[in-house]
Structures are given as structure tokens and as C-alpha cells.
Amino acid sequence: MEILILVITALLIKNILLLQYLGNCPFLGVSKRMDTAVGMGLAVVFVMTLATAITWLVQKYALDPLGIGYLQTLAFILVIASLVQFVEMFLRKAMPALYQALGIFLPLITTNCAVFGVAVLAIRNEYNFVESVIFAIASSAGFALALVLMAGIRERLEAADVPAPLRGTAIGLITAGLMALAFLGFLGVDNSLKALTQS
Amino acid sequence: MSYMRDFTRGLWDELPPFRMVLGLCPVLAVTKSAEGGLGMGLCVIFVLTLSNIIVSALRRVIPRKVRIASFIVIIATFVVIVELVTQAYFYSIYTTLGLFIPLIVVNCIILGRAEAFASRNGVFRSTLDGLGVGLGFTLSLTVLGSIREILGNGTWFDMPLMWSSFEPFTFMVEAPGAFVCLGLMLGAMNAISGTRAS
């Protein structure tokens, strides 16, 4: 039940994109078409889960025992950058089909602050290894969900009559704001779930 | 004259985050209050200017193939410095900005300036570019933070500003308000430059 609450919190109540403000550059950049949004979403799920697992191990077995926790930022960004590079090379050799689908999104992920943010949040929230991995999967699924929903809306917006100064990114941001408002509706679901388990 | 251009370009023509729609996450997250916006802006000026100086000084030494990784290490070094200094001397800013101080590392504006400007120009011009873009970013964030704080909380830099019966518009300090407010500001910028051009 605690795991379920963790998943629902990361996926909906604290959606990283809409309510934690992480990963907005790709959110606005690649949400214009449905197929690229799906590709980016999958690439993020893949990389974020791996990155969080590895950075958790780095933190617990390298930074903490050596007492160099202040190097966390530097260490994590290096791990993520090299991981992305490695995943790219591995996919190109081993799974060309998947590489075709995700390839162009992988370099972009290095500077996706959501990947870095979730890795740091997993440490700050003091999750254990399993919780961290579940947290990463749920967060990235929340990212993919918001991205795909946004792409669906933006494809419709193409045909809409938007005032000239608001065209493009501006209307994208306002749309995101309205989506975030809808996601605020999930506030408190975790408390009701907790109450349900206790009764 | 061209030195002046390097500095002023960041203040209107390439004003981040409006003209270069990059690095939006900190923009949205820390502008709940004017103080948060100003604090984040100052951190970014520091990191951006110093990383521009170092990148530009080392531009002939760094091999092209590993340049992005090298830039990130340089940027991360300054971010760690900011993290430690704010934690030691400006603790209230450190807690307001929270997670978003380490996240300056992945702020695309800084990497973007290193790649697009500092790696191609001399140290002095890169310094001016860093200061200009950083100052533009700070101003944008402070204005956005002020609008959100005044409307959402009725205060400005924690000083009560509105009349006593003013009902705070809580929407503005929540996440949806951040998106909508930034979107409207972007629209206003486009409208202004649209009328200027015609």
C-alpha cells in the first residue's frame, strides 16, 4: 500500500512536469507532434530509471563512505552524461530498431533537468534502493503522460485561431498552466488512501 | 561599440528566458516570490560569467569532441561553489531555492552561452556576454517573481503592499499560475516587438 501511495504521488499528485517544474524544455520543445512526444516519453522512462538506480548506488557506496557528499552535483551529472552516451552506443549496436525510434532524443536527455532532479530527490527523500527505482519509474511515467497529453492538445491547437502574439510557445505555456490546474485536482488523494489503509 | 553590443544583447534582443526559451524549470519554480527570483538570478550571473570566462580562456585547449562534457564539468564546479556559499552565508536563499541550486548545472542557458558564444570569442567579450545575459535573466525572474508575489500573496519582498481587504489570488503562487503568467508575459513581449517592427 505504501508503494501504491508512492506511485500515485509521483505520477499524479506531484507530477514532475506540471507541479514540480522539472523537464520543461523538452516538454515545450517536442510536444508539437504525437509520435515525437511518445518517443521522448519512452526515452525518458528508460534513462531516468537507469540513472536513478546508478546514482543511488554511487551516493551510498562511493560518496557517503568517502565523506565527499558535497561532490554530489558533479558526480551525478557525470554519471548521467556518460550513461546517456553509453545507452546510445549500446542501443545502436544491440537494438537498431529501438535506436531508430529513440536515438535523436537521447543526447537531449543529458540536459533534461528532470533526470537529474529525480536522482537528487530520491536521495533527499531518503528512499531505499527499491523505493528509489519505483519513484523513478512513476515520475518518468508521469512525465511521459503529461507530454503525450500535451502533444494531443497542441495538435488540435494547430487548427485553432490563436491571437498572433500568443502563437507558439506562449500558448503552449498557458495550455500547460491549465493542465497543471487539472492535475491539482489530485491533491489529497494520498491522504485519503492513507486513511483507507488505517481504517 | 561592439563590446557594448555584447553586453546589451542579453537585455532585450536575446533576453532569456523570453527570446531564448531555455532554462524554464528554474524560472517557473523559484518565482513564487520576488526574493526567490532575484536570488536565483544572482546565482546564475555568478555561474554564467565565471563559466564563460573559463570556457573562453580554455577554448583552444579543449578538444572539440569532448567539449560538451568539459563545459559541464566547468559549470558544475561553479555550481558546487554557489551551493556551498549559499548554504554557509545565505541560508534563507538556500532553502528558498532548494533543489534548484544544483539544477543550475543543467540550465540550458549556461551551456548554450558556453557553446554558442564563449567557445568562439575572447575572454573579455565572453565576460560581457555572461554579465549581460545573466543580468537579463535576473531582471526577467525578478519581474515575474514580483508579479506573482504581489498578486498571489499581496506582498513584495515580504513587505505588505496591497490594501487590507485585498484577497490574495492564490492561483498565481501555485504551479498553474507560473505557466500562465510566463505565457502571458511572453505574449506581451511578442506584441511589443511586433508593433516595434511594423
Per-residue pLDDT reduced to its tens digit, B166-176: 888 888 888 88
pTM check: above 0.90: no
The yes-or-no verdict on residue B120 having pLDDT over 70 is yes
Inter-chain CB proximity B80 and A166 less than 8 Å: no
**A156 in contact with B at a CB cutoff of 8 Å?**
no
**B81 in contact with A at a CB cutoff of 8 Å?**
no
Inter-chain CB proximity B25 and A25 less than 8 Å: yes
pLDDT of residue A60: 92
pLDDT of residue B99: 85
Q: What percent of chain A has pLDDT over 90?
A: 28
Calpha distance A52→A133 (Å, rounded): 7
**A57 in contact with B at a CB cutoff of 8 Å?**
no
Q: B160 to chain A, minimum CA–CA distance in Å?
A: 27
The yes-or-no verdict on residue B113 having pLDDT over 70 is yes
A171 → closest Cβ in B76, B107, B183: B183
Q: B54 to chain A, minimum CA–CA distance in Å?
A: 17
**Over residues A39-68, mean pLDDT:** 90
**B173 in contact with A at a CB cutoff of 8 Å?**
no
The yes-or-no verdict on residue B50 having pLDDT over 90 is yes
**A75 in contact with B at a CB cutoff of 8 Å?**
no
Angle between helices A34-58 and A72-94 (to 10 degrees): 130
Q: What percent of chain B has pLDDT over 90?
A: 34
**Over residues B152-161, mean pLDDT:** 83
Q: Using pLDDT thresholds of 50, 70 and 90, give the confidence band for residue A127.
A: very high
Taking CA atoms, A135 is separated from A4, A25, A54, A123, A149, in Å, by 10, 22, 14, 11, 21
* Closest Cα in chain A to B195: A165
**Over residues B136-156, mean pLDDT:** 89
Residue A119 sits at the vertex; the CA angle it makes with A118 and A123, to the nearest 5 degrees, is 105
Considering only residues A31 and A181, tell me which one the structure prediction assigns the higher pLDDT.
A181
**A68 in contact with B at a CB cutoff of 8 Å?**
no
Taking CA atoms, A5 is separated from A52, A165, A181, A182, in Å, by 19, 42, 21, 20
Q: Using pLDDT thresholds of 50, 70 and 90, give the confidence band for residue A111.
A: low
CB contacts of B51 in chain A (<8 Å) are none
> Looking at A97-106, A118-127, B51-60, which range is the least confident one?
A97-106
**Over residues A107-131, mean pLDDT:** 86
Q: Using pLDDT thresholds of 50, 70 and 90, give the confidence band for residue B198.
A: low
Chains A, B: CB contacts within 8 A come to 126
ipTM: 0.84
Q: Using pLDDT thresholds of 50, 70 and 90, give the confidence band for residue B1.
A: low
Q: Using pLDDT thresholds of 50, 70 and 90, give the confidence band for residue B38.
A: very high
Contact between B173 and B154 under an 8 Å Cβ cutoff? The reply is no
Q: B156 to chain A, minimum CA–CA distance in Å?
A: 23
Whole-number average pLDDT of chain A? 86
Residue B176 sits at the vertex; the CA angle it makes with A27 and A25, to the nearest 5 degrees, is 20
Q: Are strands B155-156 and B159-160 parallel, antiparallel or unpaired?
A: antiparallel
Of B77, B97, B80, the closest CA to residue B26 belongs to: B97
Q: What is the full DSSP assignment across chain A?
A: -HHHHHHHIIIIIT-TTTTS--SHHHHHHSTTSHHHHHHHHHHHHHHHHHHHHHHHHHIIIIIHHHT-GGGHHHHHHHHHHHHHHHHHHHHHHH-HHHHHHHGGGHHHHHT-HHHHHHHHHHHHTT--HHHHHHHHHHHHHHHHHHHHHHHHHHHHHTTS---GGGTTHHHHHHHHHHHHHHHHTTTTHHHHHHHHHH-
pLDDT of residue A99: 79
- Cβ-based neighbour number of residue A21 at 10 Å: 26
The yes-or-no verdict on residue A72 having pLDDT over 70 is yes
pLDDT of residue A103: 64
Q: A162 to chain B, minimum CA–CA distance in Å?
A: 11
Q: pLDDT (tens digit, 9 = 90+) per residue, B59-79?
A: 999 888 788 888 888 999 999
Calpha distance B109→A6 (Å, rounded): 33
pLDDT of residue B82: 94
Q: Using pLDDT thresholds of 50, 70 and 90, give the confidence band for residue A161.
A: confident
Residue A44 sits at the vertex; the CA angle it makes with A131 and A99, to the nearest 5 degrees, is 130
**Over residues B1-22, mean pLDDT:** 76
CB contacts of A121 in chain B (<8 Å) are 99
The yes-or-no verdict on residue B85 having pLDDT over 90 is yes
pLDDT of residue A141: 94
Calpha distance A195→B119 (Å, rounded): 57
The yes-or-no verdict on residue B17 having pLDDT over 80 is no
A111 → closest Cβ in B108, B190, B194: B108
A165 → closest Cβ in B23, B105, B191: B191
